[in-house]
Structure 1
Amino acid sequence: MTVTSRHLEWVPKPFRDGDLAGGGSNRLLGRSDLSMTEILIREMAQNAWDARTAGGTPTFDINLRRLGPREVGILRRELGDSYGLGLDAVLADEALRGLEISDRGTTGLDGPVEIGRVTGEDTQNFVDLILKVGVPRTDGRGGGTYGFGKTAAYAYSSCGTVVYWTRCRTPEGLEHRLIASAMGPEFHLDGAEYTGRHWWGKRSSDGRTLPLRGDEAEALGKAIFTARFEGEQTGTSILILDPPVEHLSASAGGSDGGNEEADAQAEALEPAEVDALFAQAAREALRLHLWPKMTPDVPGGPAPMNISLRVSGEAIDLGTPEQGAWRYWSGALRAIRRDGEGSTSGDEGGGLLPPKIVRVTRSRRPMGTLAISVRNLSIDPPDRADDLDPHAESSGTGRLMLMRGQTELIVKDKDVAAGGDLLGLDWFAVFKADSSIDADLASTEPPAHNDWLPGGAETDGEKYARFLRGRLPVTLRSELSVHAPLPEQQDAADSTPLAAMLGLLLPDEPKRQKSIEGQRRTGVLKGRRGFVVTGHRLLSQGDRLHQHHMIDFFVEGPGGSTLIELSCRVASEESRTSLSLDAEQLMPEWRGAKPRAENPLLANVENGRAASVVLRAPLGRAVDVSLAPVED
């Protein structure tokens, strides 16, 4: 069908009792530390995820493009009638930008097309998104709770105008629906007062707004949108008209407008510069907020959601879960997913160390699961060009990501100082809430769903949010912190031996639960000697396959000497078990101590004298080193 005549009618909403002004709707998202680009991408992707069809993998595509003269002409014809939106000026631009966001493998905007009497079982996707504002979802299964996230699309348009094209299933079969909608300031026209809400569709006999449907909707959709519906695909595409330059050029952490000087600079940018800046901001937002949706359960497997970004026809590389810092996040999330299935084994991919799993409870009720991935900075230093890297300036600080259980929506990412000196290590942590408390936590989120904010009420959600905000940093510090020295050793230059720090990296072995701190205490209580490890250093990489470690120590006590035993275990490449290394593999070099000729893993050190040992261990593997005094 060729689109040559006008199909859409303008239907502005007159004020009725209890109506909300359109300009007020645009402010429903409130204030947030997220940029408008982040909010838009989070909300649109979460809407697509919530609407996914059973048994399939949804797709989510963002496409910033310039509309051609034919497309602009069609929009000028179809949206020609309006008031107070500035559409005339926008549609006069032959190089008009549009941000097209499409999802497939989703239900589309199905259900009734007009508000009326319905039962609790009826699908209401069309009326909830297009005709209503503030429809709550109270089960915690969706990303949205307040139903205000859809206003992000209107706020991202200079004229507050969005075109919707959807294909959904109805009792009569597959159906195309198309409608345009806008939110703008309230206005007066011909003696009547209007809310500033606008629709372009079909007007019913009683003045209600209806979408264009069937073949007409399909033909007009194909004339305006680039994404098509193949086979029996269902889903939704939206076209945001004229995203402001200050939105497109703002970085993922920026303000997206409101700064006159910054906005003026943005207006002066060349189109290619704006495209490049938007590509960067959108890429960062997708990676930071949607990396769980792009992380498969196993390396190389299918992702939960297929996500793509295009800018002016160019596909933007979003990276993979096996690259850079993303490897550590994906390793932690996969460990949580396996833990939920009752399994703790699996290939982390990329030679990563097995994450530490901690189940968090409150009065025996499960709150969720915390997973901690640890990085050896000498082997894999921070990359400041990697937007998923915490960029830790000291080894005691890492990043914690909070997410809901059922949606795996990243609610908040925050830097946390774990305290202590991790001696060349840093960490990445993921907390996934238990699905049973999703709805409670969702009730504490602001409209942008980017935090759990306990207020003054004593609801379950408030209690859980308050508990988690206090407990998670403490748990992290407990899992990562160094052991404090014994009272008898307070004056010593003490720090945790490597085994005490890296114990979390190796599987628990019931027969080897005696800690380094316990080894120290045994020596002190016997009154003969106090064994102290004073430091650990990672030396320059020995060769392509090995890393050298240097451990400094001394033995307190009366004159004489003490026999010291060195042992070392490393994580197996094939499983979560650990393997013991012999003297030939470790090649120990004792300094200030005399090794035994018959066993280089044993050495005598004079009491009161500082000594050290240098050993060789496999590169990129979890290492558990133990030094302990033994009976001669």
Structure 2
Amino acid sequence: MSVRWWSQPFAPEGSAAAEGIVKQLGRPALDPLTVLVREAAQNSWDAHLPDGVVEFRVDVRVLGDDVHAWRELLLPGPQSGSNVDLDKALRPESVVLVISDRNTRGLGGPLRAGERSHGETPDFVQFIRNVGEPSDHEFGGGTYGFGKGIFYRLSQVGAILVDTHTAAGGASGRRLMGAALGHSWHLDDRLFTGRHWWGLVAKDDVPDPVLAEQADAVSKRLKLPGFADGRTGTDIVVLAADLGPNGSETNARERTPQEAATFISSSILWNLWSKMVPDQHGHRMHFVVGVDGAGVPVPEPDSFDELAPFAEALREVRAGKGAAYSRTVPPKHAGSFAMALGAAGGESTRLVIAAARPFEGPSHHVARMRVAELVVDYLPGPLHPDPRLAYGGVFKASEDADALFASAEPPTHDDWVSKGLSGAARGVVVGARTFVQKQLDERLGIGPQAGGPGGQGLGQLSALLAGLVPARLSGEHKTGDTGHDAGGFGGGLGSNGGNGSNGGTTLRRGGKPRLIGTPMLRVHQQQPYLVAVVKVPAADVARVLSADVEVVLEGGGRESEPPLGASVPRIMQWQSFSGDVVVQDKTIRISPGEESDWYVFATHVPDAVVRFRVSQVTSDAG
């Protein structure tokens, strides 16, 4: 057997041409790097192991002097008629994208498509050899695997390498193989599909992956991440990667590796923030993006004002506190919805959040997702009636309805399209949009009022309390900040360039304390009062927090001089969620410890819009 490129001939009964496979991805409206992030992370999450955190990394790498090893191993390439010109692609200035996951099961199962799998998911042949197989992952993010075409599309020569270490172990547990999609072509009277594989070509003229020690040796020569630590997972390498344009259409140029890394990090934040929020079992994904091996962790979504409301809404849905999307016919429970408020007008200039931002202006959107909790899209809703407010919502499909929503997705999983659907699928998808819009109208106080004229329905109460602003906090510290300038890759991933940062005390753990959800009107012994919820992050030092409440004027300013005889709102007390700690003051000292939730109580002022604020006064950190 020899290691080389092998080109697939058309079988007498017919075969799939390479052009058709690539076109199955369609023409996504999203940037190709965003599609790559979504598809690759989706595959990784579907393959996560029961325990541990899925580690996902993207490295933008310039070959440089390492190109000699790549050329020695991968040349000569396929015949020129197939339009896979590896000789041109493997140059010192060429860029490769290395997408890696760890704590996943790797691409296991049979090595060849015609072999039956016994008890192990046939991930290897599904990814490397086959096209269009239905998903065998319950509630997985993918459907028919067409999204893997993005790896080939991002390569200027349609070529990738796959290095994997499977959970099954054994001699075939470590596998490395190349694949390419070019154009169908002919050699004399013989026709070829344009599909190629790089590996060990056996006597029966079928290519197989390089295995075990030989795979490890090839990986080391190419300076791929490898699996020396024994963990399982997969590395996918996109050869001669097209990083896409930067700038306007009239003044566009190719992204630099640093710009591409920042854009990839931004795409991760906007499309995969939901996988960064640990679930009740602690399952989550950890993301790192690097250039030439120098990786930077992607900051947590709660460290951004733009994403914090979405993260909070997801926690509400997970906790079973969301509004149920109920139907009279099966599936009777089709999803859940929750919404959280944020402050408008504070869009960050940090490149890591701005580069791939999917919408302009303050958030008035709902992140739609299936059971796998991968963001499908952001459904726009009405702007908040109070221009000082933004909001982020989450709609999550139920397990019973997940397959119906999946049937509405295009190959890139970035929309729910009702056109062409029928029966229950159409009813569920169309009804979900109506349900979400109704929920937004009621919560924003702009829909029909429950209880009729003069009633005190939820919509009317929402309108009454619309000015209760979970305002940005003073002296805050954003998790993941590194102090770099925001103009480059290092700063783009972790710059301290957010909004409202006034050089306050840095907490040793956690992030800023923040107001959660919408403050509520409560009545006790016939006396109304207001209550807000404050989440205090974990810290190794004690802190003193202060709460304030103020009347907001029509133009959005703070009332400094109340009218003669008018009531002035004041903070009554802080109280722990358990009720065992009550401090009747506007300030409270929080001891070192884990994350905690608190109630802040304030007096009620009739016929006024009020705003809560919470700030950190001091800490023992000095």
TM-score band by shorter chain is: 0.7 to 0.9
Q: Give distance in 2, aligned partners of 1:602 and 1:438.
A: 44
Residue 75 of structure 1 aligns with an amino acid whose one-letter code is: R
Give the Cα–Cα distance (whole angstroms) in 2 for the partners of residues 513 and 79 of structure 1: 83
Is 1:372 matched with 2:339?
yes
1:398/1:571 CA distance change after superposition, 3 Å: farther
**Deviation at residue 204 of structure 1 after TM alignment:** 2.7
Distance 2:604 2:60 in 1: 66
- Alpha-carbon distance in 2 for matches of 1:135, 1:186: 22
Distance 1:225 1:108, change over 3 A: farther
State yes or no: 1:440 paired with 2:404: yes
Tell me what 1:38 maps to: 34
Q: Match for 1:428 among 382, 392, 411?
A: 392
Distance 1:465 1:391, change over 3 A: closer
Deviation of 1:39 after TM superposition, in Å, equals: 0.7
Which has more radius of gyration?
1
* Aligned 1:168-567 pairs, distance under 5 A: 168-170=166-168, 172=170, 175-245=173-243, 247=244, 249-250=245-246, 265-266=252-253, 274-297=256-279, 304-325=284-305, 326-339=307-320, 357-363=322-328, 365-377=332-344, 381-383=346-348, 385=350, 386-387=353-354, 393=361, 398-405=364-371, 407-418=372-383, 421-422=385-386, 424-482=388-446, 498-499=464-465, 505-506=518-519, 545-550=547-552
CA positional deviation for 1:44:
0.8
Mapped partners of 2:447, 2:73: distance in 1:
72
Give me the whole-angstrom Cα distance separating, in 2, the residues matched to 1:481 and 1:226: 55
Mapped to 2, the partners of 1:480 and 1:570 lie a distance apart of 27
Paired with 1:410 and 1:426, the residues of 2 have a C-alpha distance of 19
Q: Residue 14 of structure 1 corresponds to which residue in structure 2?
A: 9
For residues 566-602 of structure 1, give each alpha carbon's deviation from its aligned partner in whole angstroms, at most 9, with x where no partner exists: 877889563399x9999x97xxxxxxxxxxxxxxx99
Residues 140 and 439 of structure 1 are in contact (CA less than 8 Å); yes or no, is this contact kept in structure 2? Answer: no
CA 1:77/1:312 → structure 2, altered by over 3 Å: closer, same or farther?
A: closer
Q: How has the CA–CA distance of structure 1 residues 452 and 496 changed in structure 2, closer, same or farther, with 3 Å as cutoff?
A: closer
8 Å contact from structure 1 (residues 401, 412) kept in 2 = yes
> How big is the shift at 1:549?
0.8
State the match for 1:51 in structure 2. 47
**Unmatched 5+ stretches in structure 1:** 1-5, 268-272, 345-356, 517-542, 553-562, 586-600, 604-610, 622-632
Matches of 1:85 and 1:512, distance apart in 2: 80
Q: Residue type of the partner of 1:383?
A: S
Post-superposition offset of 1:196: 0.5
Amino acid at match of 2:266: E
Q: Distance in 2 between matches of 1:428 and 1:85?
A: 46
Structure 2 residue identity aligned to 1:318: V
Question: Matched residue of 1:448: which SS?
Answer: coil
Identity %: 26
Contact 1:163 1:239 survives alignment (8 Å):
yes
Inter-CA distance 515–51: structure 2 relative to 1 (3 Å threshold): same
**1:43-102 CA deviation, whole Å, 9 max, x = no partner?**
111111111122222211100111243444333443313123342442451232111111
Give the CA deviation at 1:112.
Answer: 0.6
Q: SS of the residue aligned with 2:303? A: coil
Q: Deviations over 1:20-60 (max 9, x none)?
A: 21122111111222111111111111111111122222211
Contact 1:506 1:571 in 2 (8 A): no
- The CA RMSD over aligned residues, in Å, is 4.1
The 1:69/1:116 distance shift into structure 2, 3 A limit, reads same
- CA deviation string 1:310-332 (max 9, x = no partner): 02343345222331223222222
The number of aligned residues is 514
2:594 alignment partner in structure 1: none
Q: Counterpart of 1:226 in 2: which secondary structure? A: coil
The 2-side partners of 1:619 and 1:13 are apart by 65
Q: State the TM-score, normalizing by the size of structure 1.
A: 0.71
Please tell me whether the aligned partners of residues 164 and 234 of structure 2 are also in contact (alpha carbons under 8 angstroms): yes
Q: 1: CA distance between counterparts of 2:131 and 2:55?
A: 26
Cα offset for 1:393? 5.0
Change (3 A) 1:103 1:512: farther
